[in-house]
Chains A and B, each alone.
Chain A
């Protein structure tokens, strides 16, 4: 059974449809990439899955439960989903350790000792053990984004949503964040990510989805989408990416 099912999802903003009937299935341990121009609806789709946006039609199921049902407890759904934002969004008034332990302690009611032990384990695994006591503004962008990933991981989510996680970073910092995403894939984490890093996307994805103007135009394994896309719109998008030197 698929872990996440998106069926005919629509989202409208001020009379304009940003998502126009998106269908997508994500199996456990699968890595799905969403590509497409800015404004094609990739980020909105992730925010709908996380219930930060309410869908205007269609349904989303997580582990067989319809999470778009208005009677559903959104906090309970979000506990099972990790999201990482383009702008990191770390809590500036908390140390790295507190950023990571806040949700396990306050939502899962894990004891302070246990939450901190688990946080130290994750920080060590991703090379940030020395930064546990630091505050976000003392970290580089790459370090901040890695902390954001760890903060989401600390909730042991069923599914990770990565929204343009490298777009706000200098080129030499992109590598360290992509490294952590690769490690996540190797650990078997199910992920949906939006990205402009095409070579990384080709490398890491099991499935690539091309979105254009709120429509899922084409979907398939990366070797097929990047080598022989069927749809003219996909071809045109990939050509423009190629011309900009991003592939």
Chain B
């Protein structure tokens, strides 16, 4: 029997392959130990540099005071719940605004031109104005109109400001998702007799939204910490609470507390974003 017609059997690694794998393993071990060593050296250097700086004792006292940490924590945590609340309310609103604006920008019907123009103007304006200014303008401007039904609750006004600002970004994310769906998909749907609206709803949007999940989550990580910007108009959220304690006691440790709380919230979200992005890459590669 010739070797090519031999029935398929279990693969037994050859001597050559075993040697290759041994070399690969030893290299992996070596790069692992190099990475550990260099990380340790780096951390030690930073610690030595910081703790030996001339101002260190005062910084330590002002920012890393354990007693103030313990005293500030309940207040800042209490304020932080408001940040979480604002974030949870703003998020779905932003998704709705973003999607509607993205769709409005894609309208080609002449009768709806004003809507399209308005949507374009909206994204141009609110991507250009810094979020903190939007919150100022909404927070102080809207109530000043003294119109019936306009909310005066500061946190609500903050949520409106955040929604306006982030809605513009998210609209652009949705739009890039919609544009990333290949024209041949639209051609296939239209050629089956589906109208423009039905093509959007059943063919384009389902594909587009799947693609924009990782960049959207990234924007939401950013939104979580930007809820602190609402502090500028006064509601008692985490940063505002920290400010109050810090300015009355001349100790900045509460700011550190607030920072840690924000980090604790954003890290899981950031990891989830990475995970989803990696999964999308794998799917696309498959």
Chain A residues at the B interface, C-beta cutoff of 8 Å: 50, 52, 74-76, 78-79, 81, 83, 85, 87, 89-93, 102-103, 106-107, 137, 151-152, 155
User: When the two chains form their complex, are residues B184 and A103 in contact, meaning their CB atoms are under 8 A apart?
Assistant: no
Whether A75 and B193, one on each chain, are in contact in the complex, defined by CB atoms closer than 8 angstroms, is yes
- Contact across chains for A85 and B193 when beta carbons are under 8 A apart: no
Chain A residues in 8 Å Cβ range of B286: 137
Cα A78 to Cα B286 with chains together (Å): 33
Collect the chain B residues with CB atoms within 8 Å of residue A90's CB.
Answer: 188
Residue from A87, A93, A103, A152 in contact with B194 in the complex, judged by beta carbons closer than 8 Å? A103
A87 to chain B: which residues have CB within 8 Å?
184
| A151 adjacent to B192 (CB under 8 Å) | yes
Pairwise interchain contact A106-B194, C-beta atoms closer than 8 A: yes
Question: Once the chains bind, are A93 and B210 in contact (CB under 8 Å)?
Answer: yes
- How distant is B199 from chain A, measured CB to nearest CB, in Å? 10
Contact call A52/B193, Cβ cutoff below 8 A = no
The CA of A85 and the CA of B187, in the complex, are separated in Å by: 10
Asked if B187 and A152 make an inter-chain contact with CB atoms under 8 angstroms apart, the answer reads no
Q: Does B71 contact A (CB under 8 A)?
A: no
Does any Cβ of A come within 8 Å of B185's Cβ?
Answer: yes
The majority secondary structure among interface residues of chain A is mixed
Chain B residues with Cβ under 8 A from A52's Cβ? 187, 190-191
A78 to B190, CA, bound (A): 8
Contact (Cβ within 8 A) A85 B184 = yes
- Flag whether B266 is at the interface (Cβ < 8 A): no
Q: A91-B185, A106-B198 are in contact. Are A76 and B206 (CB under 8 A)?
A: no
Contacts of B203 in A (CB 8 A): 91, 102
The residue in chain A whose Cβ has the minimal distance to the Cβ of B193 is: A79
Select which of B185, B191, B195 is within 8 A of A83 by beta carbon. Answer: B191
A30 to B193, CA, bound (A): 23
Among B185, B210, B286: residue with most chain A CB under 10 A: B185
CB distance from B185 to the nearest CB of A (A): 6
The contact of A78 among B184, B191, B198, B210, by CB within 8 Å, is B191
In whole angstroms, what is the CA distance A137 to B189 when docked?
18
CB proximity of B113 to chain A, nearest CB, Å: 20
B interface residues with partner A (beta carbon < 8 Å): 184-185, 187-195, 198, 202-203, 206-207, 210, 286
Is A75 a contact of B191 with CB atoms below 8 Å?
Answer: no
What CA separation (Å) do A152 and B190 show in the bound complex? 12
Q: How far is the CB of B272 from chain A (nearest CB, A)?
A: 21
Q: Judging by beta carbons under 8 Å apart, are A75 and B195 in contact? A: yes
Say how far B40's CB is from chain A's closest CB, in angstroms: 46
Check A102–B192 contact: CB distance below 8 A. yes
The 10 closest A-B pairs by CB, nearest first: A89-B188, A79-B193, A103-B192, A107-B193, A78-B193, A83-B191, A89-B184, A93-B206, A75-B193, A75-B195
Minimum CB distance partner of A50 in chain B: B191
Q: How far is the CB of B50 from chain A (nearest CB, A)?
A: 51
Contacts of B195 in A (CB 8 A): 75
Query: Within the assembled complex, what's the spacing in Å between the Cα atoms of A225 and B91?
Result: 66
From residue B128, how far is it (CB to closest CB) to chain A in Å? 35
Across the interface, name the chain A residue whose C-beta is closest to B184.
A89
When distances are taken between beta carbons in the complex, the residues of chain A under 8 Å from B202 are: 102, 106
Question: Is the pair B188, A78 in contact by a Cβ cutoff of 8 Å?
Answer: no
- Residues A76 and B187 in contact, CB atoms below 8 Å apart: no
Q: List 25 A-B contacts (CB under 8 A).
A: A52-B187, A52-B190, A74-B190, A78-B190, A78-B192, A78-B193, A79-B193, A83-B191, A85-B188, A87-B184, A89-B187, A90-B188, A91-B189, A102-B192, A102-B203, A103-B193, A106-B194, A106-B202, A107-B193, A107-B194, A107-B198, A151-B192, A152-B192, A155-B192, A155-B193
Residue of B nearest to A154 (CB): B192
With CB as the reference atom, state the residue of chain B lying closest to A138: B286
Residue of A nearest to B188 (CB): A89
Q: Which residues of B contact A76 (CB under 8 A)?
A: 193
The smallest beta-carbon distance between B206 and chain A, in angstroms, is 5
Tell me, in angstroms, the Cα distance from A70 to B156 when the chains sit together.
Answer: 50
A33-B207 Cα distance, complex, nearest whole Å: 35
Smallest CB gap from A105: residue in B: B202
Distance, CA A76 to CA B191, complexed state (A): 10
| Nearest CB on B from A24, distance (A) | 20
Shortest CB distance A146–B (Å):
15
A91 (CB) vs chain B CBs: closest residue? B203
Closest residue on chain A to residue B206 by CB atoms? A93
Q: Please give the distance in Å from A183's CB to the nearest CB on chain B.
A: 21
Query: How far apart are the CA atoms of A200 and B221 in the complex, in Å?
Result: 58
Which A residues lie within 8 Å of B207 (CB)? 91-93
Note all chain B residues with C-beta closer than 8 A to A152.
Answer: 192
Q: Report the minimum CB–CB distance from A244 to chain B (whole Å).
A: 28
List of A residues within 8 angstroms of B193 by Cβ: 75-76, 78-79, 103, 107, 155
